[in-house]
Chain A
Amino acid sequence: MNVTKETLHLATAGDAPQETFVLNLGPQHPAAHGVLRVLMTMDGEWIQRAEPIIGYIHRMHEKMGENRTWAKFLPNTSRIDYLSAMHYTHAFVGAVERAAKIEVPLRAEYARVITSELNRISSHMVWWGALLLDLGGFTPILYAFDDREKILDLLEALCGARLTYCYYRFGGLYNDVDDAFLKGTRDFVKHMQPRLKMYRDLVTDNIILRKRLEEIGPISAELCRKYGATGPVIRGSGVAYDVRRAEPYSVYPKLDFKIPVYHECDSMARYMVRMDEMEQSLRIIDQALDQIPAGPFIGKVPRVLKLPVGETCYAVEAARGRFMVRIVSDGKEIPYRVKLRTPSFSNLSLYEEASRGMILPDALAMMGSLDLVIPDIDR
């Protein structure tokens, strides 16, 4: 305990001088969703400073990118954020296609949109269940996983993997979307719409949940800008920033969907953004299923891929926000540099400032509303 002039004054006024203690949350803690460690300086249950300490599952994907060919790095991209693997593969594939000027057939683009949006829904499902677990509600996660299972079955039938898909290839896809998948996806959309309504009735409108999330953990748009937070975090702070609209890629410009925006800046706003996004994803899938043309599923790609010298960026809207790949090529078969800009990294970096002065359960509720995936932060 440090007796300063300030605390001495408090002590003479009859109050106890301020004492703090350090709470080491993690790296093994139920609320950390993985191996995130937060060093909290606490004043009672109030947080004075919460410093995230990361790197416990750092795997150096960027170095791995520099010692294998472009195509051999593809499976790595699924493993950065294992919950939204499709988006990450999409960004890397997109960057290489942009640099090598590879044409992608329209059917492949539509298939990418469908699978990406399915992946977005399944990722939000995990987040939803995990957030409710953080808040002490055990049941929703099993309902969420029940629905997520249907998506995983669909994607498994398509590419053989249930989590780390690696389904996209330079110039197209690993294999064609068959009729069974298209029909299954249509059935899933029909199945999912009433389920989302049920989630709203059962969980979103629950008074305890609203008390736990409303006006808790405010993050202003300015704070997001200074820290580069994206995705549902920024859309919950009243900014309609979505890479699908800001830097249009694939066939998103041809599809009609809304960017859900809430202006409350609190945890509930971020919650509502994700719930609405699932609905919008269903809309996108529905339209893409109507529009998907027949044709080849992969374009012409040279057998040995050598990219022209130079630098290319490609960003996608992953489930957690803006994911950008920056590749630098020196004209050889292997990349010179692969930079992965992950959304959770930036979203977590504002935690220290945003959590100041909050109480522990609220701070953990806010951490849940940021939707962190630790491998995505550590890379």
Chain B
Amino acid sequence: MNPSLEQLTADYTALAGQVETCDFALKGYHLSVAVPSNQVVAAAEIADRAGFSIDAVTGVDWIAQNEMEVVYDFFHFTSPLRVVVRTRVPRAEPELPTISAVFPGANWHERETHDFFGICFTGHPNMKPFLLPEDATFHPLRKDYQP
């Protein structure tokens, strides 16, 4: 079952998301969806139902806007379609729900994001330091990180 771009656009628009269709040759993905941070699980479920696979979860620190962006990449095994779901959380309190119940593979990616940015994924089963040392309290990819 291959998902169609129109169906996905409709699904994500229904999710109060801003959907933007992109030129693959310029961006490297077809669909960029911005959703509120409490909607990421629903967004992941849409991707799951459409047969997408988890590519990566990562963060970007927009210190000028005082926000953190969390980016979810999805790719599809059989159709050449790439979807990016992004959401923003305030820098002071970076918290959003985990999608590891939908995609177990997101477990590690979220732990890594927590390590690097200090973004908390509520409901995550194992939010321990992952790539950083066990006693690490710093988050090196924050733009205000001073080593």
User: Which of chain A's residues have a CB closer than 8 A to the CB of B82?
Assistant: 247, 313
Once the chains bind, are B54 and A98 in contact (CB under 8 Å)? Answer: no
- Contact in complex: A312, B130 (CB < 8 Å): no
| B131 interface residue (CB < 8 Å to A) | yes
Neighbour of B60 across the interface among A241, A247, A337, CB < 8 A: A337
User: Across the interface, do A60 and B60 meet the contact criterion of CB distance under 8 Å?
Assistant: no
List chain B residues, Cβ under 8 A from A315: 28, 75
Any chain B CB within 8 A of the CB of A251? no
Residue A63, interface by CB 8 Å = yes
Within 8 A of A (CB), among B72-128: 73, 75, 77-78, 80, 82, 84, 103-105, 107-108, 116
Whether A226 and B80, one on each chain, are in contact in the complex, defined by CB atoms closer than 8 angstroms, is no
Do B116 and A241 touch across chains, with their CB atoms under 8 A apart? no
B132 touches A349 (CB 8 A): no
Contacting pair B53 A224 (CB below 8 A): yes
User: Is A54 touching B103 in the complex (CB atoms < 8 A)?
Assistant: no
Minimum C-beta distance from B102 to chain A (A): 9
A109 contacts chain B at the CB level, 8 A cutoff: no
Most A CB within 10 A of own CB, among B25, B51, B60:
B60
| Interface flag for A372 (CB, 8 Å) | no
Q: Is the CB of A349 within 8 A of B28?
A: no
| Option from B28, B77, B104, B140 in Cβ contact (under 8 Å) with A60 | B140
Contact A63 B73 (CB under 8 A): no
Residues of chain B within 8 A (CB-CB) of A101 are 26
Which one of B56, B103, B107, B132 has the highest number of Cβ atoms from chain A below 10 Å of its Cβ? B56
Given contacts A63-B141, A322-B75, A379-B131, 20 further A-B contacts (CB under 8 A): A55-B133, A58-B132, A101-B26, A225-B51, A225-B52, A226-B53, A226-B103, A227-B105, A228-B55, A239-B78, A241-B77, A312-B27, A313-B29, A313-B82, A315-B28, A324-B55, A324-B56, A326-B56, A341-B58, A349-B107
User: What are 11 residue pairs bridging A and B, where the CB atoms are less than 8 Å apart in the complex?
Assistant: A54-B131, A55-B132, A60-B140, A66-B141, A98-B26, A225-B77, A226-B104, A241-B77, A313-B82, A315-B75, A350-B105
7 A-B pairs closest in CB distance:
A313-B28, A227-B105, A341-B56, A55-B131, A228-B54, A225-B53, A58-B131
Is the contact region of chain B dominated by helix, strand, or loop, or is it mixed?
A: mixed
In the bound assembly, the distance between CA atoms of A101 and B78 in angstroms comes to: 28
Interface flags for A198-232 (1: CB within 8 Å of B; 0: not) read 00000000000000000000000100111111000
Does B15 sit within 8 A of A, measured CB to CB? no
Over the window 235-276 of chain A, the binary record of Cβ atoms lying under 8 Å from chain B Cβ atoms (1 yes, 0 no) is 000010100001100000000000000000000000000000
